[in-house]
């Protein structure tokens, strides 16, 4: 099982430039999506045939606060004019979509909100995802991001055999 994390604080755009560099959509993303994106790049960056479309990899994201950091920015924009580009990221599952779009994953994607970081509960839900016979591996993200400058971000790449 591969594991990674992004300490807080970290310069995310600098990390993007050092570790990725070829996906300018990164700059449109909110902090939650940036964290999920960067974690996933580290987990799957060395995959063979990486951008071949595949259905056998699930993307499961977990957090406590969902998209609240960006929700606040969007709510602020409502005082003037609601911003469509901010509204897009007011959904906690958009990060799963961003990861799937980048990597051409057409498998299961899911997002869960839970009361606190609980590795046992997270992996119980990961195990459920493997009940689907199609799923062979999963990108698992815990990205909790109460504000743009405060987060807890960890990622795992889990193979079916490892559970």
Partner 1 sequence: MSGRICISGSGVVSAVGIGKQESLKALLEGRRGLSAPRYLNTVHKNLPIGEVPLSNGELKKRLGLPENETIPRTSLLAMLSAREALQEAGMPGGRKAFISGTTVGEMDIKERSYLGEGNPAEGPQGCGSSSNRAADYLGGFSLVTSPSTACSSAANSLILGSLLLQSGEFDVVVAGGSECMSRFHLNGFHSLMIVDPEPCRPFDATRQGLNLGEGAAYLVLETEEHALSRGVKPLAYLDGWGNACDAYHQTASSEEGEGAYLAMTKALSMAGLRPSDIDYINAHGTGTPNNDASESRALFRVFGEKMPPVSSTKGFTGHTTSASGSIEAVFCLLALREGFIPGNPGFQTPFEGGVVPQEQSVPAPGLSHVLCNAFGFGGNDTSLILSRAL
Q: Looking at 2-10, 42-50, 109-117, 148-156, which segment touches partner 1 (CB under 8 A)?
A: 109-117
SS (H, E, C) the chain: CEEEEECCCCCHHHHHHHHCCCCHHHHHCCHHHHHHHHHHHHHHCCCCCCCCCECCEEEEEEECCCCHHHHHHHHHHHCCCCCHHHHHHHCCCHHHHHHHHHHCECCCEEEEECCCCCHHHHHHHHHHHCCCCCCCEEEEEEEEEEECCEEEEEEEEEEHHHC
Rule CB under 8 A: which of 14-53 touch partner 1?
53
Residue 102 CB, shortest distance to partner 1, in Å, is 9
Q: Chain centroid to CA 145: how far?
A: 11
Please identify, using beta-carbon distances, which residue of 62 and 156 lies nearer to partner 1.
62
Please identify, using beta-carbon distances, which residue of 3 and 127 lies nearer to partner 1.
127
Residue 19 CB, shortest distance to partner 1, in Å, is 22
CA gap 148, 155 in Å, rounded: 19
Please identify, using beta-carbon distances, which residue of 41 and 71 lies nearer to partner 1.
71
The structure tokens listed for 111 are 């997002």
Please identify, using beta-carbon distances, which residue of 1 and 75 lies nearer to partner 1.
75
If one asks whether residue 142 binds partner 1 (CB under 8 A), the answer comes out as no
If one asks whether residue 96 binds partner 1 (CB under 8 A), the answer comes out as yes
If one asks whether residue 106 binds partner 1 (CB under 8 A), the answer comes out as yes
Contact residues toward partner 1 (CB under 8 A) are 53, 55, 59, 64-66, 68, 71-72, 74-76, 78-79, 81-84, 87-88, 90-94, 96-98, 100-101, 103-115, 125, 127-128, 131, 134
């Amino acid at each position: 099982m591969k594991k990674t994390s992004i300490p807080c604080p970290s310069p995310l755009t600098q990390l993007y430039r050092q570790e990725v560099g070829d996906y300018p959509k990164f700059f449109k993303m909110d902090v939650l999506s940036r964290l999920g994106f960067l974690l996933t790049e580290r987990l799957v960056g060395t995959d063979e045939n990486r951008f071949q479309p595949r259905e056998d990899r699930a993307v499961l994201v977990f957090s406590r606060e969902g998209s609240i950091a960006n929700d606040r920015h969007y709510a602020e924009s409502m005082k003037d004019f609601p911003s469509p580009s901010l509204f897009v990221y007011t959904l906690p599952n958009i990060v799963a979509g961003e990861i799937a779009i980048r990597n051409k994953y057409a498998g299961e994607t899911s997002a869960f909100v839970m009361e606190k970081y609980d590795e046992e509960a997270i992996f119980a839900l990961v195990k459920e995802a493997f009940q689907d016979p199609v799923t062979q591996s999963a990108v698992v993200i815990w990205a909790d991001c109460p504000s743009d400058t405060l987060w807890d971000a960890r990622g795992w790449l889990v193979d079916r055999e490892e559970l």
